[in-house]
Structure 1
Amino acid sequence: MIGMVSTIVLARLLTPADFGIIAMATIVVALLESMTQAGLNIYILRYKEHDERVFNAAWTVGIIQAFFVAIPLVIAAPWIAQFYSQPVLTEVIYCLALVRIIQGLNNFGVFVAQKQLNFKVDFVLTLWTRLIYLAATIGFAWYLQSFWALVFGQLVSAFAGCLLSYYLHPYRPKLTLYNWRDMLKYSKSTVPLSLGRYINNQADVAVVGRVASAEFLGLYHIAVNLAGLFTKELLMPVIRGLIPNLSVLRDTPNFKDVLITTFAAAVYVFLPVGVGLSLVAEDFVPVVLGEQWLAAIPMLAWFSLYAMVGGMLMFFSEQFLVMMEKEALSNGLMWLRNAILLSTIGITLVYYEPATLPKALFISVMLVLPIILVSISRALELSLVTLLLSWWPALIAVTVMALAIWQLPAFSLPHFALLLIKVAVGAGSYVACLILLYIIRGKPSHSLEGALLGKVMARFR
């Protein structure tokens, strides 16, 4: 929600070209990040013992990784600016390199707390760093009226987050390379996944940044980010909470039932959010972003569907499989997705306009979805039929939701009123349909609805 407020306010203070310049710099930073990402937070969650030497070593490797990102950035900054024909990118990249070093110094105690199933530290740290970023970026944007607000906001947020991480957790890391060989062996299997994730998330943005203007890239970037705010960004804190818990539950007899329910929960949330945002895009953009962003409406409509399916695939086949010690499968599925993605980008940009890319990306991710589902069901020894049957109420309910919104009369109302009506009708029809289907099915206690109802009833006993 904080990210959405930040995007809304900044979109009204800055221009699409401002966001395009930052997107160009972010592409390069994310590439180097992916090439050095060791994923040691998952490593310590898989590590059975509470060994501070391992925690210290993971923190040390994190600092080394930060410098492996920052130093090449500083060296390559002038060439990157020349590649994109944006001289100002040199100074922007210098600042983002400093941001990465500061983040590398964060207290590893945050991950130690996650391993102990204490999520308060993570929540408080995330909340305050987001709020500080919001306040700093909006303040700079109001004063500077420039993309530098986005850069300075990241610097302030990174510095404040580093200080807060040490204030919120008593753990004090020390420099050491204990057990580094085992960490290196683990990292060899996670770096390909991280690099693959970068390609999956940034390949289209990188190509668009090269073939289109900074203004178009800004429109494209905002559409991607808004779609991601309601899907992938929503998913990340959920994953941070689920992975430590699932690592504890994996040896219990009913673990497969837990997995099926967990996957169903993701579908129940992602389907109405992704489809709903797509259906209200024509009212959402003018209300939330303003008239200067109207060209982003068709891109947001398709990106919301693309991010919906992509978020579910990320949930099913990335960090979760790594936690289950199936890194090879996770890497293979990621690179399969990338092969289809890159082919889609190439074909689309050769034969069509860049503006058609969001629709093509959605088609590509739908092609890979059944392959992912079959692969993970076999690897985790889950019944694919049982898995899919747990989704059918959500599929029917989201279909009813879409029909209800489509059948609304053409009111002559402002976009704000239309947006409220569509959201109310969509959410009401989706929830009502789920409840009706739950009753028709005989109120099964093993279903997701039954589990949620049981939790709610327990609160009032």
Structure 2
Amino acid sequence: MSFANKLIKSSFFIIAIRLVQRGIGIFSFLILARILTPEDFGIVSIATLLVFLCDILSETGAQQYIVHKEVVDDNDLNTSWTLGIILKSLLAIVLILASPFVASFYELPQLTVVLQIIALVLPLSALNNPKMLILKRNLDYKPFLTLAIYDKVLSFIFTMTLAFVLKSYWAMIFGVVFSYLVKLVMSYLIVSYQPKLTLKKFTEQWAFSKWVLLRALVGYGRSEFDTAFISKLYGVEVLGGFTMMKNLSTTPSREIIRPLVEPLLASFSKVRNNSQHLNEQIIKCITTLLLVIGPICVAMTLFDRELVQVLFNEKWYKFADIVGMLSILILNMALASILREALVSLGKVRFLFYFDTISFIFTIGFIYVLVGDGNIEKFIILNIISNILSTLFLLFYITRYFEFDFWSLFITNFPLLLVSTFFLTVDIKIVFENAYLNLILNGFLYIIFFIFLLVITMLLFRRVSAIESYQKWLISMFSGFIKR
């Protein structure tokens, strides 16, 4: 199997994994949203924000390090495993000790015990079988589909049972811990390997990983700082509503962008020494992602209220506008993800750290100065503007210093841009009293007309070399995959 076909096959496996994970995850969230309150989700949001911040702080960059190395031995795997155990265990202890102070800061006494329980996910995640990294390095994602099925099914049963019995946020807290326990056990059932404690490759790995760690920390702070801001500015109820709507609006980015981007580090590394091939690969990857994400982003903007009315009950309706606003970030996230992976493959991890740090500081200052006493909608708009500006600067950098062909990227995506703009400016809907009919019928008509107009537009521009080249590549890739 050629590398290109292996890459697209691995992408499909990752998408299947994410569909299983998020399909069950979304279903469970919809049930939980009817049992629990926005305040419950607000408490869980704060707890997960802090525990995953600790997880980032203990990140050794193991996956990027293993993928980046030309030759990997057991000492590399065992060193990564040992570092993870040391760092995550220490930070779990810190989180447990700091939990009373955090609870006092948020004026939520119940957070103390919540943080002490959820801190268990840190050592549990550190103990996972490091041999799983080799599977990712080899683009062998089929075993991860098995892991995802067991994890989500068992966790769903466990969490739903607790939700109906306890009817509180504890169902989600215990569910998160149980999920990490299932992943730990399954990692050793899927791959036979006995890791050993060692730090033989510490110096070599840390030289690479320190920048990955710092960049991940800043990136996580940038993506999750809104949780801390909103909880203090608008209260835990608004935080819960924002979190639920954010999960809904960013589901396409999590379930499509990340699965497709994950193999890109390996694919970019194969062509990083050939600027022309790297250029082509970046354009193809960005265009493929936008082709999938674009119509979804437009749909979520057009049908935000219908989505919330169908999926949730009345206590969530007042947060419906947030879905359409946040969906704008989906396209921005798609572009930024590809550009970052391309720069990582070129060894520009240090630059990305500095860039993410500066853009993070800019975002905080930008919002802090302008938000004033504005509402949650003003906060979100300022955050969107800041993210778009950062991505445009990143695109300018890669165009300027790596001779990236921005014009070909624009021309290739022009048909999609044209059709998306049409639907966003021309609001054509058939209005029914029933929210389900509104969503189903209008959604169906939207899909049909969007595909029709996109195909027509691409045919009109088929003689443009950049578009024609991409169309031929896309057809050949999928044809090759289906034949195999």
TM-score normalised to structure 1 length: 0.93
Are residue 449 (structure 1) and residue 471 (structure 2) matched? yes
Hey, what's the Cα distance between the residues in 2 that align with 1:349 and 1:305?
A: 19
Which residue of structure 1 lines up, in the alignment, with residue 8 of structure 2? none
Hey, what's the Cα distance between the residues in 2 that align with 1:213 and 1:385?
A: 45
Which residue of structure 2 lines up, in the alignment, with residue 407 of structure 1? 428
Map residues 85-234 of structure 1 onto 2, 5 A cutoff: 85-234=107-256
Deviation at 1:191, TM superposition (A): 2.2
Hey, what's the Cα distance between the residues in 1 that align with 2:297 and 2:334?
A: 10
Q: Which of 58, 74, 79 in structure 2 is aligned with 1:57?
A: 79
Are residue 43 (structure 1) and residue 65 (structure 2) matched? yes
- Encode CA deviations 1:207-265: one digit per residue, 9 max, x unaligned: 11122222111001111111221213432222223323333343466332122101111
Q: Tell me if the contact between 1:438 and 1:449 (Cα under 8 Å) persists in the aligned partners.
A: no
Residues 53 and 154 of structure 1, relative CA distance in 2, 3 Å threshold: same
AA partner of residue 268 (structure 1): L
Q: Tell me if the contact between 1:17 and 1:214 (Cα under 8 Å) persists in the aligned partners.
A: yes
Residues 258 and 307 of structure 1, relative CA distance in 2, 3 Å threshold: closer
Deviation at 1:91, TM superposition (A): 1.1
Which residue of structure 2 lines up, in the alignment, with residue 354 of structure 1? 376
Hey, what's the Cα distance between the residues in 2 that align with 1:276 and 1:332?
A: 35
- Encode CA deviations 1:288-332: one digit per residue, 9 max, x unaligned: 122110111111111111243134313322x44223311122123
Deviation at 1:457, TM superposition (A): 4.2
Are residue 391 (structure 1) and residue 422 (structure 2) matched? no
Which residue of structure 1 lines up, in the alignment, with residue 17 of structure 2? none
Deviation at 1:140, TM superposition (A): 1.4
Which residue of structure 2 lines up, in the alignment, with residue 281 of structure 1? 304
Residues 421 and 20 of structure 1, relative CA distance in 2, 3 Å threshold: same
Any stretches of 5+ residues in structure 2 without a counterpart? 1-22
Q: Tell me if the contact between 1:397 and 1:431 (Cα under 8 Å) persists in the aligned partners.
A: no
Residues 344 and 63 of structure 1, relative CA distance in 2, 3 Å threshold: same
Q: Tell me if the contact between 2:285 and 2:338 (Cα under 8 Å) persists in the aligned partners.
A: no
SS across alignment from 1:83: helix
Which residue of structure 2 lines up, in the alignment, with residue 420 of structure 1? 440
Q: Tell me if the contact between 1:400 and 1:430 (Cα under 8 Å) persists in the aligned partners.
A: no
Deviation at 1:131, TM superposition (A): 2.8
Percent of residue pairs identical: 24
Q: Which of 448, 452, 456 in structure 2 is aligned with 1:436?
A: 456
Q: Tell me if the contact between 1:283 and 1:418 (Cα under 8 Å) persists in the aligned partners.
A: yes
Q: Tell me if the contact between 1:114 and 1:122 (Cα under 8 Å) persists in the aligned partners.
A: no
AA partner of residue 97 (structure 2): I
AA partner of residue 93 (structure 1): L
Give the length in aligned residue pairs: 458
SS across alignment from 1:390: helix
Hey, what's the Cα distance between the residues in 2 that align with 1:155 and 1:442?
A: 52
Q: Tell me if the contact between 1:402 and 1:426 (Cα under 8 Å) persists in the aligned partners.
A: no
Q: Tell me if the contact between 2:304 and 2:321 (Cα under 8 Å) persists in the aligned partners.
A: yes
AA partner of residue 218 (structure 2): G
Q: Tell me if the contact between 2:124 and 2:181 (Cα under 8 Å) persists in the aligned partners.
A: yes
AA partner of residue 108 (structure 1): P
Q: Which range moves more in the overlay, 102-111 or 128-137?
A: 128-137
Map residues 230-309 of structure 1 onto 2, 5 A cutoff: 230-251=252-273, 254-309=277-332
Which residue of structure 1 lines up, in the alignment, with residue 18 of structure 2? none
RMSD across aligned C-alpha pairs, in angstroms?
A: 2.1
Deviation at 1:59, TM superposition (A): 1.2
Residues 442 and 210 of structure 1, relative CA distance in 2, 3 Å threshold: closer
Which residue of structure 1 lines up, in the alignment, with residue 19 of structure 2? none
Deviation at 1:121, TM superposition (A): 2.1
Hey, what's the Cα distance between the residues in 2 that align with 1:320 and 1:215?
A: 39
Deviation at 1:176, TM superposition (A): 0.9
Q: Tell me if the contact between 2:282 and 2:342 (Cα under 8 Å) persists in the aligned partners.
A: no
- Encode CA deviations 1:90-114: one digit per residue, 9 max, x unaligned: 1111111111111110111111111
Are residue 328 (structure 1) and residue 339 (structure 2) matched? no
Any stretches of 5+ residues in structure 1 without a counterpart? none
Q: Could you list the runs of 4 or more consecutive aligned residues of structure 1 that deviate by over 6 angstroms after TM superposition? A: none
Hey, what's the Cα distance between the residues in 2 that align with 1:110 and 1:18?
A: 34
TM-score normalised to structure 2 length: 0.89
Hey, what's the Cα distance between the residues in 2 that align with 1:321 and 1:134?
A: 38
- Encode CA deviations 1:25-63: one digit per residue, 9 max, x unaligned: 122223322333221110110110031211111111111
